[in-house]
Structure 1
Amino acid sequence: MARFAANLTYLFTEMPMLQRFAAAKRAGFRGVEILFPYDLAVKELAQAAQAAGVEFVLMNTPPPNWAGGPRGFAAEPGNESRFRGDFDRALRFGRALGVKHLHVMAGKAQGGLARRTFVENLKWACARDARASLTIEPMNRNDMPGYFLDSFELAAEILDEVGAPNLGLQFDVYHAQMIHRDALTVWQRHARRVRHIQISDWPSRHEPRQGDIDFAELFRAIDASGYGGWVSAEYTPRTSTEAGLRWLRLA
């Protein structure tokens, strides 16, 4: 049975960040994730998670500049030294928070050299700390123009090429539906590689509801696969966070 986590970057934004941990717990979430927590005090984050009784599930590797800048740079030739320095920073931050997974963002790049750069950076990162669980996530070209990792087939090839036991697939339902128009089939094809799941409706990217994606069927498929990891709610609520949590009570 999957466990549900709240992405605090998007949910419970009605209150300050440190109050969102307890709000997530009260709503029924057992874990939390924050995309880029680096501007916050690690000690305060750790204390908030511990006080609320939630696990810190995932965070992203830091991009050069999220506000208008690249989305990561692990696949960008020439940025290898910067990647390693920022990855070490992310490792330290993640260890202090007890984060379960670290999402390594590829960035904008194309071609064979970008692929080789991504593979070599991932091999280095996986060897840097064999106990750290790393993920890669395909993202669609409409929302992330030029993003290197733009299909689940490419992600599967990269995972095979790296061949590290501590590297897995991050399955974002919205991106799977956006890229392939059939998130359920993508799940069935790649479930064995998945380390972490993120969910939202499509195409609105609001809370899950029965529409273009049959979430009841998808949740059944996830349970049937034996997946025991986290399913994170990563969406922008239609109104308030609390008002949109009916899906969680029915999952």
Structure 2
Amino acid sequence: MARVLVVDDDRTVREVVVSYLRAHEHEVVEVGDGEAALRAMRETPADLVVLDLMLPGIDGIEVCRRLRLAGDTPVVMLTALGEETDRVMGLEVGADDYVTKPFSPRELALRVDSVLRRSSTPPAPRRLVDGDVVVEEAAHTAYRAGVPLALTGREFDLLRFLVAHPGTAYSRDDLLRHVWGWSIGDQSTVTVHVRRLREKVEKDPTHPERLVTVWGVGYRWEADGVG
């Protein structure tokens, strides 16, 4: 059982989400705005936050940004159908997953369970090294040239997977399946995370040498930055 904070200014949406999450045996706390969400996380941190983007006062993007500055609590965002810009912004500030409104409460509950499993599964005690990039699976940390990388949980999972499988080209669908655990999903999720990861591991993100694009296929990690 996990403690989940549900943040949405629509009481009806909160009631439905809370009901389904409690049916999945989670302890659920609900609030209606961003300030209350941040206060709740300071007082009694949750294991995961379900966060609506459109909130009165402090919006969901800013709440997610502040949560990321404070720690690595997983965030599942609720976005309006068709608002791709909002989804991308949510991913850019570190959301782990998103569900578009109107949504299936059952799908949301399953997404929450999936994110919680990934964040709570003990990592294998491996140390992956590729040139100056080091991934410490047990500690869930990564370094470039000895400097710790500020990675979200998803970015770490993506880097870990790629470094563990150098020289292999993966489509965005492949990465959604292997890293996100999704059989279907929005491929822009992968695109955003690849761009963010490049900003942290490449000397020049506009001319990547490590996380390279394989045109017509997807992406490949080049060992030792040889590309």
Q: Normalising to structure 2: TM-score of the pair?
A: 0.32
Q: Which has the higher strand share?
A: 2
Q: TM-score, normalised by structure 1?
A: 0.29
